[in-house]
Structure formats: structure tokens, C-alpha cells
A = this chain, B = another copy of it.
Amino acid sequence: MLSERRLEVLRAIVQDYVGTEEPVGSKALTQRHDLRVSPATVRNDMAVLEDEGYIAQPHTSAGRVPTDKGYRLFVDKLADVKPLSVPERRAIQNFLDGAVDLDDVVGRTVRLLAQLTRQVAVVQYPSLSRSTVRHVELLSLAPARVMLVLITDTGRVEQRVVDCPAPFGDTSLAELRARLNARVAGQRFTEVPRLVLDLPESFDTDDRGLVQTVLSTLLETLVEETEERLMIGGTANLTRFGHDFPLTIRPVLEALEEQVVMLRLMGEANDPEMTVSIGRENAHEGLTSTSIVTVGYGSGDEAVAKLGVVGPTRMDYPGTMGAVRAVARYVGQILAEK
């Protein structure tokens, strides 16, 4: 166990490094933070911190830089989430209030988060599996072709074109629409498969083909890859990373474009409060020098999806965490209103 002062030194190192982006030396530390000890003492502490793996030297004659482990300790024990200022909160609310639909909410959230944190923002659309059905619409496009439109309580809309084996009548379609909605409207999507199980039986044999095809498309939609979608913004902030970064920025951009990757990483963030995944903790190669702050958001007490921020491991954790949490809260409110 590290002594109180050594923790203090670590905290100071993290803070300074985050501020200056430069390795921090013992002398600078004693000057900027009032640690009441001499540089030599700090040097000894630093040697210990280095032995324990919390900090490292980029090269022999340089200052120290926190390691992933150091940031981890900082986040877990040394940092408090920094609440946003009142004007900031007000700005968030005003900005989000102007949204006209779900796409707009998500889009505005991404921009907002990117601007507040000056990093890359990632916002997941409300997942189908954690939403409830608001309405299922069926539209006839052609004699044997239907468009299936799913609408969730969070305002998300999914659509599919269904090709049926045989033509069907308008009344059959209307009938299916009515019965389907009677069963699933207001229910959770996870319940839908169970709820529609015996639906085909209640139809004439003539219409079973239609019913079966539509239902199977409906069920597929719930398990597809596109079930989860996300929006990303603020990539221009990546250019602030480091001065080295052709090498740094590229894999990050690539990872961000692979939605599957981001979905997986965000899926692994399971702390109901807030998850911070630091450096190599991220199970993806391109993101080993970034940290990801993730939090769930939802219209009620339950999370319907996640949002977060991707930035360099050297980020302002307290500030970022504060912003992410605040935004998640407001988005939840907005969704509840829609």
C-alpha cells in the first residue's frame, strides 16, 4: 500500500501531465503543488511509484508520465467527478430541447458531448431489445410486397421490405396489422417473439404465407447487426492528441468507423454508474492509447443505450466524466418527453 503522500504525488503527476502534455519532473512538481517536501524526496517517491508500475519515464533523462495503471488508480481513488457549471447545464438543456426527432436528439447529443469534452463523442441509439413497441405499421408496396415499419417508445424507427411468396389482399394486411399491434403494442421487444408465436394459427390458410413472412422478418430485425446503431462526432478533436500522431490518429479513426468494434467495447462497459476503460484495458488494438468513458442513459431508471467519449489516456478524467454523466442525464429527460 502506498503512503498518503505518494498518492498525492501520483495525483499531482497526473494533473500536471494532463495539463502540460509533457513529462513532469520532481522540481516542477514541488513548485506547482504544495507538497511540503523537497524535490529529492519526491524523487524517491517517484522511484517507488515507478517500481510499482504507476508511472514511467519515456527516456532516461526525462520526467515521469503516468502509466495505464497510474491512471487507473487515479480514476478509482484519487479523482472526483467534476460537476458542470450552471451555465453549462443550461446550455446543454437549451441545445437538446431544440431537437425535432430521435435522429436529431442523437445528432445534437454527439455534437454537444464532443464540444464539451473536446474529444470524440459516441452515442448509441436506444437499443431495440431494451425498448418497448409503440407501433408496427405494414404498408403494401406491390401485390406481394410489404414494408414493415417498427416504431419504438424512444422514437426509433426501423423499416424492412418484405417479399411475400404470394399476393395478398388489403384486408388481410389490415387484419394482420390490427392483430399484431393488439398483441405487441406497449410490450417490450424481448417479449415479441413469445407474443406472436401463435399468431399465424389464427389466420386463414390463405394468409398464412403473408403472416409467416412478415413475422419472420420482424423477428430477424430484432437480432440483426443493425439492431444497434451509433453516431460519432468530434473526430476533428483527434488532431489535438499529440504532435506525433499520424500513427496515433489513424487506428483510432479506423476503429471508430468500425461500428462493430465500438459497439463491442461499449457493450463491455457494464457499470451502472459509469465505466472508464483505460489504454490497454480496451480490447482493441487501435485504441490501446485511448481511454473510453461510457455511461448508460435512458428515459426511466433503466438504461436503453450508452453514450460516451473516446480520448487520449492523458485526458481530464474528472471533467470528462462530469460532462458525460450530465449529458446522459439530460438526454434521458428529453427521451422521456418524446
Contact = CB atoms under 8 A, between A and B. Distances in A.
Interface string A128-153: 00000011010101000001010100
B159 A157 contact: yes
A235 B226 CA distance: 21
Contacts of A338: 161
A183 B221 CA distance: 31
A330 B104 CA distance: 29
Interface stretch (A6-14, A239-247, A308-316): A239-247
Contacts of A100: 160, 221, 224, 226
A23 interface: no
Interface stretch (A35-43, A52-60, A248-256): A248-256
B161 A155 contact: yes
A234 interface: yes
A1 interface: no
A246 B245 CA distance: 8
A31 to B, nearest CB: 31
Contacts of A224: 100
A281 interface: no
Contacts of A139: 134-135, 151
A257 interface: yes
19 contacts: A100-B224, A101-B160, A101-B226, A102-B159, A111-B257, A134-B139, A134-B141, A139-B151, A155-B159, A161-B338, A233-B257, A235-B257, A236-B253, A236-B254, A236-B257, A239-B250, A239-B253, A243-B246, A249-B249
